[in-house]
Amino acid sequence: MAPRLRRRRHKKPPSVAPMVVTSPTVVTPVPLTLEKPGPSIDALGFFSLDNNVPGLSKLILQKLNMKSYEEYKLVVDGGTPVSGFGFRCPQEMFQRLEDTFRFCAHCRALPSGLSDSKVLRHCKRCRNVYYCGPECQRSDWPEHRKVCQELCLVAVDRLMEWLLVTGDFVLPSGPWPWPADVVQDWDTWFSMRGLQLEATLDAVLSSHAMTVLWASVGRPRPEPDVLQGSLKRLLTDTLSRPLTLGLGLRALGINSGKTGRSTVHVVGASHVETFLTGSGDYNELGYMFPGHLGLHVIMVGIDVATSFLQSTGSSTPETGTILLSGHRGLYHDFWEEHVETGQIAHPDMAVAFHPGFHASPTLMETWLPTLLLLRDYKIPTLLTVYSHQELAASLQILVDLDTHIIACGANPFASLKPEQVYSNPNKQPVYCSAYYIMFRGSSWQLDKRQLEENIDGGV
């Protein structure tokens, strides 16, 4: 059982500007348990689409030739596709994927709800939102105009991302030619990669795969500078997680050169962190720490993709290498079964990319044992969030849990790829890992007698 939280008045959330505070106080570690499994954040996200556009989840399944969410999840997890899933040609695939975005951005009408005289047509500027008629489009323009230009980028990136899936866009890699402490953000990273990056982008732009892609989507091919910009955004989206992880190792003072290797746990990992993720995707993290003795990154979550579990190992990383491995389950269960028993080393750092515990009481209930575990075992922890609003809400929760906030602020390695809210396309796009929070331990201390009293009293 975890120590019972003291009753306290709400505090004003800390400033979102980067800050540094004193070292955390000590709290005796106490094992944590949870009797029931938590919900899948992937499932909650999928079915929440219907809250804003009733019937959207059913439309998505229909266009993907699937009968249920379970079939959808099977494919997302990297499992064997069910009979009926698939497309006869790239043209059909891109058309059906685009059809999942077809609903009126103003009145939320789906194609099945329109009269025979109405057809959904996209905005000619961004080609990314649809309307059932001129009246809805005119009524929606005051809101849509705020995001129309940014959604132009979303529409291109959504198609260009296919090149990452097929492996036709291979990111530049190799040891960093600059000292690691010089590379502080994307501007310096792009400058460091310089000619290598330029050659990589030119090769992709002139490739046969690029020609096939735009011949299959049924729309004019954008200008080279537009496509190059998209490739750069996709690159930052792929590398944001490993470089953000490296940012945490730097800021929290983790010694990557220590004897016995370093271990990082990615908590609450889902298909986003694991589907199509290969052993080489975290090489950039290794180049960020030249001379490291091996880094083991363990993805833990109930939505870890099956393909990731099957393709990753569990041995000790060799000097200078990054080892990725996965475990499907709740983190506090993983801790008790593998860390407490000594099968897996205590983490030098824990990371949670977009945990989302601020979004609903259900998710907060699931995350609470893990947050308390990380707090009470004084594990240096890094969290990322999408927006300023999420940052403020998450900080307030962590403050109420008496975690010791070390730092928070804008992430210099945030993804530059805008993320559209699927069922609310005119909502301001967000960016993956836009902000970070770092904490370690608790902001208060209990003596042994008080701790025992709280344990006996229950949560």
Distance CA(131)–CA(144), nearest Å, equals 11
SS3 of 314, please? Answer: coil
Q: Are 49 and 423 in contact (CB under 8 A)?
A: yes
Residue 95 lies in a domain: yes
pLDDT tens-digit series, residues 202-261: 999 999 999 999 999 988 999 999 999 999 999 999 999 999 999 999 999 887 766 568
How do beta strands 322-328 and 403-410 pair?
unpaired
Reference 385, options 375, 376, 395; nearest CA is 395
Phi-psi region of 245 (alpha: psi -120 to 50; beta: other; left: phi over 0): alpha
The torsion angles phi and psi of 267, rounded to 5 degrees, stand at -90, 140
Q: Which residue is listed with tokens 């499992």? A: 79
Q: What is the mean pLDDT of the chain?
A: 83
With a cut of 70, say whether residue 407 has pLDDT above it. Answer: yes
State pLDDT tens for residues 343-394. 888 999 999 999 999 988 888 999 999 999 999 999 999 999 999 999 999 9
Which tens digit of pLDDT belongs to each residue from 83-142? 566 677 888 888 888 888 899 999 999 988 888 778 899 999 998 899 999 999 999 999
Q: What is the pLDDT of residues 34-90, one digit of tens each?
A: 333 445 666 777 777 878 888 888 888 888 778 787 777 777 666 666 656 667 788
With respect to residue 49, please indicate whether it lies within any of the assigned structural domains. yes
Q: Which secondary structure element, helix H or strand E, spans residue 177, and what is its range?
A: none
Closest Cα partner for 242 from 306, 179, 189?
Answer: 189
Count of domains observed in the chain: 1
Q: Is residue 110 part of a domain?
A: yes
Full strand arrangement of the beta sheet holding 262-267: 322-328, 295-301, 262-267, 349-353, 381-385, 435-442, 403-410
**How confident is the model over 286-318, as pLDDT tens digits?**
999 988 888 999 999 988 887 788 666 557 778
Q: Please check the confidence at residue 398 and state whether its pLDDT lies above 80.
A: yes
Angle between helices 208-216 and 148-160 (to 10 degrees): 120
Read off the pTM. 0.82
**Shortest CA distance to 272 belongs to which of 347, 189, 356, 204?**
356
* Domain membership of residue 137 as a residue range: 43-156
Q: Which residue has the tokens 């893990």?
A: 370
Angle 5-360-10 from CA coordinates, rounded to 5°: 40
Q: At what angle do helices 208-216 and 90-99 cross, to 10 degrees?
A: 50
In a domain, 279, yes or no: no
